[in-house]
């Protein structure tokens, strides 16, 4: 190797070392820039977040989600005592400003039953708040405060673009300690925790504690992509899972509340259930897809379109909902008067039915409660399924609470731990149909069951008008006809 070659080699080596050193020095700088950008975003957004303190009469059931209890000041207790009450408690929650006029979004359960609402801004200013409108089912409420200047407002993001693993941060008032920020990722999407028929929650590992309810879940661009609302914990503490209402659902509800004062959802007059593997087996279907119709309201849009009980809804407005919750959300988000179509499976054939969406009758919407119960694991039962049946006499109709001239067979006893018992059936229920056939006598019920057994199906479908109704109307139940071990062994 010549001296010139050696010198050139040394120069190249030095250049490589210098490049590596420059690269190594640049990495911390990029991390610092990212951290600075995140802190700047958070600093810019904190003025949009508020702490909420409310006073409630002790008799009001405390919130079950992320709201904390604090002792009420003696002056507040004395005030309400003079008005006839004796015991007062304070609760804390969170919220965020969506309009410079001082309009704030929070959870319904934070302000439910409150006689006094105090909102604390990020600069420490305390303002009295008033609930302008709310939705119990959506667990959202609007609170108005009056400030002497426009307030900074947060911006809605698009929760449909979220993916598991995306970074997010939550801001709120945990334990009433004041404005606090926690960070994490999106842990899961479309979670159903049985809070409503429309559950589509974001699960996050950004720490949520009691008092975070109603606070915003931000993405890293500073947009609100969720409303922190619920904690599921195995203890009375906050160690557990945190959930937020997706921004697209919350934004829809908030717009409806601002426009109408209530949610004013689209409505077609139908009750649907999840198509479970058991129900699919009872219907002779190869796959458990779509949502099965358990009730069609007389005179409603669905009945006018020709929808029938036992139809399986596959598509609505050209879209294929992932489950019955997605179907209900799609219907609710459709404006009244919109002409669309619905695709159903009936007797093995796909049908497309023209449909015009109507506005949900307000009195029925406000009475809406919980979704149909999910079918639970069960035990083998004898041939009579663990049911004792009797015909319905005229004198029984009032006792059974029958409406709309419903006809069926009453259940007078359910064997403890039987399959019907584990699925929620009880004495006082009324069986309206077995598979697709209406029944009015016990003999017709057992004939329908025997016919399904003859087809060698594992489950039989019954349309039940339950004694205990969390939601108006009947619901489908699939009852097991063979023992679990026989199914597992293929016998």
Dihedral, 143, 95, 192, 334 alpha carbons, nearest 10 = 50
> Distance between alpha carbon 134 and the CA centroid of its chain, in Å?
16
- The residue from 112, 139, 199, 311 that is catalytic is 139
**Nearest in space to 104 (alpha carbons), one of 214, 213, 210:** 214
How many of the other CB atoms lie within 10 Å of CB of 292?
Answer: 26
CA dihedral over 414, 420, 421, 426, signed as positive or negative: negative
Asked about 418 being catalytic, the answer comes back as no
Active site (annotated) includes residue 149: no
User: Which residue of the set 135, 159, 213, 418 is catalytic?
Assistant: 213
Rounded Cα gap, residues 6 and 8, in angstroms: 5
User: b/e per residue, 258-267, with b = 16+ CB within 10 A?
Assistant: eeeebbbbbb
Please answer whether residues 262 and 366 qualify as being in contact, where contact means their C-beta atoms are separated by less than 8 angstroms. Answer: yes
Cα-based angle 82, 86, 89 (whole degrees, multiple of 5): 115
Catalytic option among 109, 210, 251, 264: 109
Spatial contact of 95 and 119, defined as CB atoms under 8 Å apart: yes
Assess whether 109 carries a catalytic annotation.
yes
**130-160 burial: b if 16+ Cβ within 10 Å, else e:** ebebbbebbbbbbbbbeeeeebebbebbebe
Nearest to 226 by CA among 207, 253, 245, 251: 245
Q: How far apart are alpha carbons 425 and 194 in whole angstroms?
A: 19
Tell me the catalytic residues: 109, 139, 213
């Amino acid at each position: 190797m010549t001296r010139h070659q050696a010198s050139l080699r040394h120069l190249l080596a030095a250049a490589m070392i210098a490049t590596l050193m420059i690269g190594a020095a640049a990495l911390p700088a990029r991390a610092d820039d990212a951290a600075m950008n995140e802190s700047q975003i958070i600093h810019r957004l904190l003025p949009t977040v508020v702490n909420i303190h409310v006073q409630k009469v002790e008799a009001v059931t405390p919130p079950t989600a992320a709201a904390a209890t604090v002792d009420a000041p003696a002056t507040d207790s004395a005030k309400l005592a003079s008005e006839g009450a004796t015991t007062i408690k304070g609760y804390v929650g969170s919220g965020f400003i969506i309009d410079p006029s001082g309009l704030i979004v929070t959870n319904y359960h934070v302000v439910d039953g409150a006689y006094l609402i105090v909102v604390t801004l990020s600069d420490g200013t305390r303002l009295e708040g008033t609930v302008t409108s709310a939705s119990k089912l959506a667990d959202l409420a609007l609170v108005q405060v009056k400030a002497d200047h426009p307030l900074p407002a947060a911006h809605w993001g698009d929760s449909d673009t979220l993916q598991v693993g995306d970074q997010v941060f939550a801001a709120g008032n945990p334990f009433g300690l004041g404005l606090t920020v926690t960070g994490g990722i999106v842990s899961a999407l479309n979670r159903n925790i049985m809070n409503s028929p429309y559950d589509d929650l974001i699960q996050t590992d950004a720490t949520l504690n009691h008092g975070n309810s109603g606070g915003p879940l931000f993405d890293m661009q500073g947009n609100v992509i969720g409303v922190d609302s619920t904690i599921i914990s195995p203890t009375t503490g906050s160690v557990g899972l945190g959930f937020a209402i997706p921004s697209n659902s919350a934004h829809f509800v908030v717009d409806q509340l601002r426009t109408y004062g209530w949610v004013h959802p689209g409505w077609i007059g139908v009750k649907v259930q999840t198509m479970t593997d058991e129900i699919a087996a009872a219907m002779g279907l190869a796959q458990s897809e779509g949502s099965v119709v358990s009730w069609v309201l007389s005179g409603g849009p669905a009945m006018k379109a020709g929808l029938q009980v036992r139809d399986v809804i596959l598509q609505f407005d050209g879209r294929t909902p992932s489950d019955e919750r997605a179907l209900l959300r799609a219907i609710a988000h459709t404006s009244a008067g919109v002409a669309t179509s619905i695709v159903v499976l009936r007797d093995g054939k796909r049908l497309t039915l023209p449909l015009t969406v109507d506005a949900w009758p307000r009195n029925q919407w406000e009475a809406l409660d919980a979704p149909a119960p999910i079918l639970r694991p069960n035990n083998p039962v004898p041939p009579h399924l663990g049911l004792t049946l009797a015909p319905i006499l005229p004198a029984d109709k009032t006792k059974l609470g029958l409406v709309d001239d419903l006809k069926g067979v009453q259940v007078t006893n359910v064997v403890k731990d039987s399959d019907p018992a584990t699925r929620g059936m009880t004495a006082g229920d009324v069986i309206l149909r077995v598979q697709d056939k209406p029944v009015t006598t016990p003999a017709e019920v057992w004939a329908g069951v025997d016919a399904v057994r003859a087809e060698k199906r594992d489950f039989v479908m019954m349309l039940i008008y339950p004694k205990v109704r969390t939601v108006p109307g009947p619901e489908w139940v699939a009852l097991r006809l063979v023992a679990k071990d026989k199914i597992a062994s293929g016998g």
